[in-house]
Amino acid sequence: MKISYEMQSVINRQINNEFHSAYIYMTMSAKASEMNLKGFANWFEVQAKEEFYHAEGFIKYLIDRGGIVAAPAIDAVDSSWTSVEEMYKASLEQEQKVTADIDAMVALAHAEKDFASVEFLNWYVREQVEEEATASEILEQIRFAKSAPCALMFLDKQLGKRKLEKPEIWE
Ligand code: OFO
């Protein structure tokens, strides 16, 4: 079954969303570096690269289904955060937005009886559960650590250990 124009259009929009997420996280990484929080900077950089993989997954899928990849401009990033707490708050909001977009795509795939897209999108549905949970967990830890600077330093050290792993569906 050929992929519908509407599904192509929402996938293209999502490719753009994923690159925008990558841009946001790369900017957060730069801001954390400016604050000398190298561990947070590492965490955001790894996250940016994961977002790039997410975009790549959609691109490959669209091509496999005979679709056309559009390449609209990526929105600028509002980088007015003044703390890592604000960055993780923004991160959680961004992930909640992405989750809503993915859910809408799944609903469209079901409505069109496009079961290949349903199956493909399921990976992203599960991924978003993890993305939201992680952003929310780190945000809570930052809030706990706020009254104790050494706790924030410890968290920075922990986040510095994060390494990039290629998502299993692209291996
Ligand atoms: Fe691609 O998951 Fe975050 O935005």
What CATH code is carried by the domain that includes residue 28? Answer: 1.20.1260.10
In a domain, 169, yes or no: no
What's the mean pLDDT in 121-136? 97
Alpha helical stretches, state H, 35-83: 38-64
- Cα(16) to centroid of ligand 1, in Å? 11
Is the distance from the beta carbon of residue 21 to the nearest atom of ligand 1 less than 6 Å?
Answer: yes
Taking residues 31-57, what's their average pLDDT?
97
CB of 14 closer than 6 A to ligand 1? no
- Could you tell me which of 135, 128, 162 has the C-alpha nearest to residue 46? 162
**Is residue 23 predicted with pLDDT exceeding 90?**
yes
The ligand 1 atom nearest the CA atom of 98: 4
Write down the pTM of the prediction: 0.95
Answer yes or no: is the C-beta of 102 below 6 A from any ligand 1 atom: no
Q: Is residue 141 part of a domain?
A: yes
Tell me how many domains the chain contains: 1
Position 166 in a domain: no
Residues spanned by the domain of 151: 5-69+81-161
**Residue 167: pLDDT over 90:** no
Tell how far the Cα of 148 is from the centroid of ligand 1, in angstroms. 30
In a domain, 115, yes or no: yes
Average pLDDT over residues 73-91: 97
Task: Judge whether residue 171 has pLDDT over 70.
Answer: no
